[in-house]
Structure 1
Amino acid sequence: MAKSADVTKVLKARRTAGRRWKLEDAKARFSEMVRHAREDGPQRVSVRGQDAVVVMSVEEFERLAPAKPRAPFVEFMESLHLDGLDLGREADDGRDVEL
């Protein structure tokens, strides 16, 4: 009996994986679309009959687009080549405010 449930789940996933949604349906049934994206795989949204975007789980997104390592802050600032730019700050004594 467990095997039958597994087969049913696989067949359902195949029906909804890569499913295409018209924009108006995606807006009206957004929670359902997100649930399908998380459980069944990426969901396409079309605008005027043309695929426009894909909604996918964050896990799928991170698998496809791994985070780039960040450069240390000093290395990043040096890479901007801001030679001659004065980033100094004048003394700040506050400002006068009428009460």
Structure 2
Amino acid sequence: MTTKTIHSRAGAHRAIPWPVAEAKARLSELIERAVTDGPQIITRKGRPAVVVVSTEEWERKSKRRGTLAEFFAASPLRGADIQIERATDTPREIDL
């Protein structure tokens, strides 16, 4: 049985890739490690294909953090009086 997590000196966990066949055979362990150790990478033909994450992490990462207007309002460039020149190129012809 191989271990699928490396513990670094700082105590953080680093996922070791799971080949698809091994992920299928050990799905319960893969899920448990995603919940306890963090994201788990599943590979196909030796290349990363997907990542399994806990529901808690998924919700945290996909949570909306505000509107686009709020993002721009919080920009460190707001009020920097930056002058941006508008392009004056002629529009191109399009066949419809």
Range of TM-score over shorter length: 0.5 to 0.7
Structure 1 contact 19–42 (Cα < 8 Å) conserved: no
Distance 1:30 1:18 in 2: 15
Q: By percentage of residues, which structure has more strand?
A: 2
Distance 2:15 2:23 in 1: 14
Tell me what 1:53 maps to.
Answer: 50
Using the size of structure 1 for normalisation, the TM-score is: 0.51
Please state whether the residue corresponding to 1:44 is helix, strand or coil.
Answer: strand
Tell me what 1:86 maps to.
Answer: none
Number of aligned pairs? 59
Tell me what 1:26 maps to.
Answer: 23
Question: What's the % identity of the aligned pairs?
Answer: 38
Structure with higher Rg: it is: 1
Deviation at 1:67, TM superposition (A): 5.4
After superposition, the CA RMSD in angstroms is: 2.6
Using the size of structure 2 for normalisation, the TM-score is: 0.52
Structure 1 contact 45–55 (Cα < 8 Å) conserved: yes
Distance 2:61 2:8 in 1: 23
Distance 2:34 2:16 in 1: 9
Unaligned runs of 5+ in 2: 1-6, 66-96
Please state whether the residue corresponding to 1:17 is helix, strand or coil.
Answer: strand
Distance 1:67 1:28 in 2: 35
Deviation at 1:18, TM superposition (A): 2.1
